[in-house]
């Protein structure tokens, strides 16, 4: 009897307009997801999580990356579009780093390195250090801003600084470590007044300040 009732209710509901569904794929959010899945797979020793992370990474690199190594912001119904923001680069690089750490596969490290270098070309502030939110060839805006504050998602500069520090040490590239230091220094005034607004960057400061192992 309940099943018949459910069937009638479902048939009636099917007559109503369906709610809109947001089906777009965002590069940055997928980077965050890849990081979460890779960490979960490594710590819980669950290959399903690692497989899902690898599938997401493969999708992003195939569908959201251009032939010249840039990223698109979004993908919907088979079409990628819009220039990616610094957070898209930083989050995807972070996810690829996590996937490399979890699997040992160097292709993820290679992809992370290439995207990180492209990010430096497109977003780096040569005068003051740190990363602008938009690329140097983005559509004309009133101003190119930086956002160092961690909110609903971590700030692009915070994650980018952590990526620079990791890759600098991993690849023995001291210039990347210096870029991480400059990124921190670019928002040092904010951190002195209110360090709680950028906890991810505070972690990077701790890592930069830690003594080198003997």
Q: Using one digit for the tens of pLDDT, what is the confidence trace for 101-139?
A: 999 999 999 999 999 999 999 999 999 999 999 998 887
- Please report how the helices 199-209 and 174-186 are oriented relative to each other, as an axis angle in degrees rounded to 10: 130
Question: How is the chain split into domains, by residue range?
Answer: 26-209
Residue 83, strand partner residues: 72
pLDDT at residue 140 in the model: 72
Task: Report how far residue 74's alpha carbon sits from residue 92's, in angstroms, rounded to the nearest whole number.
Answer: 13
Output the CA–CA distances (angstroms, integers) from residue 177 to 160, 165, 184, in the order listed.
Answer: 11, 5, 11
CATH code matching the domain that covers 26-209, chosen among 3.30.1950.10, 1.10.3720.10, 1.50.10.20, 3.90.1140.10: 1.50.10.20
Give the pLDDT of residue 214: 52
Rounded distance between C-alpha atoms, residue 179 and residue 90, angstroms: 14
Between 6 and 74, the more confident residue is 74
Structure tokens at 26: 């965002």
- Please name which of 123, 40, 90 lies closest in space to residue 201, comparing C-alpha atoms: 90
Evaluate whether 105 touches 95 at the Cβ level (below 8 Å): no
Note the pLDDT tens digit of each residue in 155-212: 999 999 999 999 999 999 999 999 999 999 998 888 888 888 999 998 999 999 877 6
Mean pLDDT of 62-86: 96
Residue 197, both tokens: 């607004």
């Amino acid at each position: 009897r309940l099943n018949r009732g459910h069937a009638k209710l479902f048939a009636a509901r099917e007559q109503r307009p369906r709610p809109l569904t947001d089906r777009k794929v965002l590069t940055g959010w997928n980077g965050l997801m890849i990081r979460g899945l890779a960490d979960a797979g490594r710590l819980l020793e669950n290959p399903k999580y690692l497989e899902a992370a690898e599938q997401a990474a493969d999708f992003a690199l195939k569908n959201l990356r251009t032939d010249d190594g840039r990223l698109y912001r979004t993908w919907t119904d088979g079409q990628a579009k819009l220039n990616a923001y610094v957070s898209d680069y930083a989050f995807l690089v972070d996810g690829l780093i996590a996937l490399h750490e979890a699997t040992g596969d160097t292709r993820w490290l290679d992809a992370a390195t290439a995207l990180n270098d492209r990010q430096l070309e497109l977003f780096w502030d040569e005068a003051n250090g740190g990363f602008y939110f938009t690329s140097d060839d983005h559509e004309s805006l009133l101003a190119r801003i930086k956002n160092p504050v961690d909110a609903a998602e971590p700030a692009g500069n915070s994650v980018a600084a952590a990526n620079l520090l990791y890759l600098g040490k991993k690849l023995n590239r001291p210039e990347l470590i210096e870029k991480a230091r400059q990124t921190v220094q670019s928002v040092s005034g904010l951190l002195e007044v209110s360090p709680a607004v950028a906890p991810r960057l505070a972690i990077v400061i701790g890592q930069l300040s830690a003594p080198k192992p003997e």
